[in-house]
Every structure is written in C-alpha cells, then in structure tokens.
Chain A
Amino acid sequence: MTAFVIRRLLQSAVVVFVMSLIVFFGVNVVGDPVDMLINPEADQEDIERAIRALGLDRPIGEQYFYFVKGALSGDFGRSFIFGEPALKLVLQRMPATFELAFTALVMAIVFGIPLGLYAGLRPNALSSKTIMAGSILGFSLPTFWVGLMLIMVFAVMLGWLPATGRGEVATILGISSSLFTLDGLSHILLPAFNLALLKISLVIRLTRAGTREAIYQDYIKFARAKGLSENRIIFVHLLKNILIPVVTVLGLEFGNLVAFSVVTETIFAWPGMGKLLIDSIQQLDRPVIVAYLIVIVLLFVLINLIVDVLYSVLDPRVRIGESQT
C-alpha cells in the first residue's frame, strides 16, 4: 500500500514537471502580457521598466529556471495583474469551486443512481424510456446554453432563485462555505445543477447498463433461489456490483467537475478558480495560469489515488497490496 502510494506520487511529479514546461513556454508564445498591463500611451521607458519589473527581459530558459527554483519552495511568482502571490490567489478561490463541484457530484449521485437503477429494473416502462431520453438530452445540450436557460427560467421568469454570485458564507468547524446558509444554498442550486446535468446523465446510463448486465448474472438468480427479499437483492447484491464502475468514473469526473467548472462559473459569475483562470488567460497572467494548472494536476493525481483506494474497498478482487501479480 505504501509502495503503491509512493510510486503514484513519483509518477505525478513527472507529470507536474512536464505540464509546467508546456504551460510556461506555451503562454510565452501566446502573447506579451506587457501589452495588456501597460497604458497604451506609456512611453518606451515605462514599458522597459515594466518588463524588467516582471522579469520578462531575461531569456525564457532563465525565467523558467527561476520559476522552478521558486516553485520548489512553494513560490509560484506574483500575479502580473494583482501583484499578489499566484498560488494564494488560486487557493483563495478554491473553496468556492470545490463546494460547487461537490454539490454537483452529490446531485449526480442522488439523482443518477436511483434513476438509472429504476430504468435498469424496468427497461420497458414508459417512465424508464423518459429517463433515458432525458439523459440523452443531458449529454447533448451544451452547458452554457443550459446555464442560460436555467437563469432565464428560474431567475428571470419565475424569480425563484438568484442568478449570479455565491451568496452568504458561514463558517462551521473551520470550513467556510455557502452550503451552510440558506442564502448560499439558494445561490448554489442553479450553477450546481448546471454543472451536474452532464454527470447525472452519465451516472444514469452507467447505472442502467450495469443493472441490465448484472440482473442476468447467476449470482442474482442464486440470491433469488436463496429466498432473499427483493430489497436485499437489489440494494446489496446488485448495487454493490454496479457501484464499482460508477465510483471509478465519478471519482475521475470530480476532477473534471473542478477543472471544467470554468463555463458554469463564467455564466453564473461564481467566484471560483475557473473564473479566475478565464480572467487570467485573457490578461496573459502567466504565474496565475501556471499555478492554477499545477493545482489542478495535483488534484487529479490525488483523486486518482483516492479512487484506487475506494475501488479496492468496493471490489475485493483488486485489494491493493494483496495482489502480487
């Protein structure tokens, strides 16, 4: 188990290194941040001073060397725009994105698994076919359009829920989140659903497919032959088997939810990391972009690790450390 974790962490270090290389040089090619920062009427001397101040006068290789040196001690440089440490900016926005992604994940589980299970157990019922048709819509409708429609219907026409912002934040047990206040909850509902819709559809289809497959397995028939109640067969024998792929996919999708909440955050003006990234890319704020991407990569590595461990809890055949092959 320990060896497994260490091996994983070493692999991720390589990934982070390569990624930083690509992003660092990539952003450099895209454009000159000085053009964005400086007043267009500034004279050449001002421009030169700005470039020196940001360290952009050095060769790119040297810039990268200083970046790595700083990064190893946790310093990703200062934002060109805000003048604050880039990592601090990203981490400040992190809780907002996390609570959004977490809420979306909970929605995906709470709606996806029961609906998928129902559709799998009653494949010919009209309600099941409606669920499956709905999941296709959930898959194919573009997120930004759904977001706009949600705002139009629930915020503008019905006026039930607020359209933008994060709402009131409360702190419980050292965690500050808008999930703890009613106002915050009302704010998070629309963006979280927007973000979750694709995942709900995914979970519905996964659960349904798993159910259809498992229901014909001998072990289900044997469980029936043992005289177990239908509830026990479905919620213990069936569900535990179909949860294996669902947990794997959902775990990986959580990383996606965090990384690609960019669209939803932009539409709903959610003050998270995604919105910060979009703003930073528009202003070519390289330190923030790099810091954000490194945080995301580390997050993916961590999630993969958690999924692997969870997976082994669910499926005894892949117990980590026990298998020698």
Chain B
Amino acid sequence: MTDQVPTLEVVDLATHFFTKAGIVKAVDGVSFSVGAGEVVGLVGESGSGKTVTGFSIVGLVDPPGKVVSGSIRLKGEDLVHANAERLREIRGNQVAMIFQDPMMTLNPVLRIDTQMIEAVRAHRELNRAAAREIARNALGQVGIPSPNERLKAYPHQLSGGMRQRVAIAIAFVNKPDLIIADEPTTALDVTIQAQIIHEAQTLCRQTGTALIWITHDLAVVAGLADRICVMYAGRIVEAGPSDDVLDRPMHPYTAGLIGSVPTHNKRGERLRQIPGMTPSLLNLPPGCAFRSRCANAQSNCQQTPDETTPFDGRRLRCHHPMTAIERQP
C-alpha cells in the first residue's frame, strides 16, 4: 500500500457548519487513508463527526456545512475542488454509500427495479433490459432469493434486512472503488447484522473495493475492520490496526469505549461508563476535547495535543496515554 496511490487519502479535512449560533466544527483536522480492498472502521459516539466525514468525501454535506480546508483524493484525484458534475459522476460509480436506516433509504413510491436501474444508467450507457440484468445479478450477489420477483416489489413489501441488502446491492452495482457504509447494521437485529457484515466483507474481498465502515459499535469493527480510526469531537484521537488498538488502547477515550462494552463485566458488577457527555461542538474551546471526562487529564491538556506516532502504524492525539498497568481492569 505504501508504494502505490491509496484508493482514498484524506488529509487534514475540516468541515464546519456555519450556524446562526456560531461555527460548529463537526470535522476538524481528520486524516486517514484507505487502500484497495482494505476495511477501515471509523468509530465514535454520536456527534463525533464520523458521518459528516463520510458525507464530506462525496461532497454531500448539506448547507450550512462546508468543507473549509484539507484535501480528499480519490486515486489521486482531488475531490474537494471537483465541480458538481464530476462529483455526481463519482458518486454511485466510484464511491458508493450505504446508509443507516434501510427503512428510510429507499424511495417508498418507486419499485426496486426502478431504483436499481436508474443507479446503473446514471453512469453507464445501457438500455433498460441490460441495466435490469445487472440489477438482477447484483440482488443475487447479496443473497436475495428470487431476485426477479423482488425487482418488481416496492420497498414496503420487504423486511428491514432485505431492504439493507438491496441498498448494498445498489452500492455494489457499479463496482465502485470505495464504499462508505454509515452504520449500516445499527437498525437491524443481531443475526441479520452478522449476515450483512459477512456479505459486505465478502463482496469487498471479491471486488477489491475499499470500505469505510462508520459505526459506534466496537464489536462490529473488531471482526470486520483491518484498521480503526477512533473519532472524538471532530478529530481522530487514535488510529491503528484493529487488533492492536483494541488490545492495547492508548487514548483514555478508546480505553473507556472498550471498557463500556458490557461483555467485559462480571455478573452483578456495575456497568462501566465514561463519565460526562460529549461536548457541544459549537465554539469548542482549544485543547483536548476529552479532558473534562478524562481521568489522566492534567494542566497541559488545555493545549491541543499534536498527533504522535508512538509505534509504527499507530497514531495518537494525547498528552498522557494509557500505560500497560492502567489498562488492567
């Protein structure tokens, strides 16, 4: 990956929302890259900026939001300064998205075939019959039984898991270089969740598609992602290979997240939580955004910590990283 151009390279991305109440720095200096066939987990609580990061990549941040600085390169091509028509060409063709709620993603008044065929024909000069054939195969690939009948169905005739499969099929239908999946399994029950993850993973392996999996669920990324980026208040606070980060978290926030997963608890023991709440991103003061909730915080946390590389492949933004002893429960 190091000697070739990564599928996606985001450097110092900042997306701010210019509201009447002030500037909300939803994403503030985020850098990461995804290679072909690689799965990167973007982990964080609600409001940490992970979804906005995803939408920034494809140029779909709604006003008053705006990408104010940084660069986004898809296979070397600049996306921040790309014009609207070029971005439209890229969306759905080179970069596809899967959304959180399958009940809301598909247009309720259009049949599945209409919604799939238009996705194909938006990027390829094909007649309806050929596009339909591609759509049918895509449905088959995501494990939908009797795709011919499903094509004629309306979204409300399918279950949530089926609808998410359709959304995934639409995402894969043009064989994109990158898929951004924004909490695609959050609204589904656990067994369906596992199937969906499995299917997405298999498809990515087969096609060499890079995948950004946005989630708040550590358990999901643990089995899925090659690398993890943990986001907090618009910044990536810790990043590295998944197993490494999950086994040896260095940022107190990452450690807190891992500690909050209930499976770590003994029966009868109090559930662990991170004290306090995510700060409002409106007019966020300088310094480490986590300091008010952090057990390790000291006076120098008033200054924004720079990104450091404690080990090869690991990145960290913390003045006082966790030591091996602190990590013991």
Contact = CB atoms under 8 A, between A and B. Distances in A.
Contact of A226 (B104, B108, B122): B122
B97 A244 contact: no
Contacts of B109: 240-241, 244, 314-316
A252 B300 CA distance: 69
A225 B90 CA distance: 9
B58 interface: yes
A224 interface: yes
Interface stretch (A6-14, A179-187, A213-221): A213-221
Contacts of B105: 218-219, 222
Contacts of B118: 226, 228, 232, 236
B59 to A, nearest CB: 9
A237 interface: yes
Nearest to B167: A222
B257 to A, nearest CB: 27
A312 B220 CA distance: 41
**Interface of B, helix, strand, loop or mixed by DSSP:** loop
B60 A224 contact: yes
B99 A222 contact: yes
A40 interface: no
Contacts of B92: 225-228
A233 to B, nearest CB: 10
Contacts of A217: 104
A316 B123 CA distance: 28
B91 A227 contact: yes
Contacts of A317: 108, 154, 156
Nearest to B106: A219
A253 B60 CA distance: 39
Nearest to B101: A218
Contacts of A155: none
A114 B314 CA distance: 55
Q: How large is the interface on B (under 10, 10 to 19, 20 to 34, 35 or more residues)?
A: 20 to 34
A229 interface: yes
**Interface of A, helix, strand, loop or mixed by DSSP:** helix
Nearest to A241: B109
Contacts of B88: 227-229
Contacts of A224: 60, 91
B261 interface: no
Interface string A234-255: 0011001100100000000000
Interface in B21-74: 58, 60, 62
A240 B99 contact: no
B107 interface: yes
A237 B93 contact: no
B110 interface: yes
A223 interface: yes
B154 A222 contact: no
Nearest to A221: B60
Nearest to B120: A226
Contacts of B224: none
A244 B7 CA distance: 42
Contact of A227 (B62, B107, B122): B122
A226 B119 contact: yes
Most central of B93, B96, B97, B109 by chain A CB within 10 Å: B109
Given A218-B99, A241-B108, A225 B60 contact: yes
B211 interface: no
Interface string B101-135: 10011111111000000110011000000000000
A237 B110 contact: yes
Contacts of B119: 226-228
B107 A225 contact: no
A228 B156 contact: no
Contacts of B111: 316
A201 B93 CA distance: 41
Nearest to A243: B109
Given A222-B105, A237-B107, A241-B108, A227 B123 contact: yes
B91 A222 contact: no
A315 B123 CA distance: 28
A236 B115 CA distance: 10
B122 A222 contact: no
A232 B117 CA distance: 13
A238 to B, nearest CB: 9
Nearest to A319: B154
B170 interface: yes
Most central of A218, A237, A244 by chain B CB within 10 Å: A218
Contacts of A237: 107, 110
Contacts of A229: 88, 122
B72 to A, nearest CB: 15
A317 B154 CA distance: 8
Contacts of A244: 109
Nearest to A322: B157
Interface of B: 58, 60, 62, 88-93, 96-97, 99-101, 104-111, 118-119, 122-123, 154, 156, 167, 170
7 contacts: A218-B104, A226-B170, A227-B89, A227-B119, A229-B122, A241-B109, A244-B109
Given A219-B108, A222-B105, A314-B109, 5 more contacts: A218-B99, A219-B104, A225-B60, A226-B92, A227-B91
Question: Considering the complex of A and B, which 5 residue pairs feature the smallest CB-CB distances, nearest first?
Answer: A227-B92, A218-B104, A227-B91, A226-B92, A225-B97
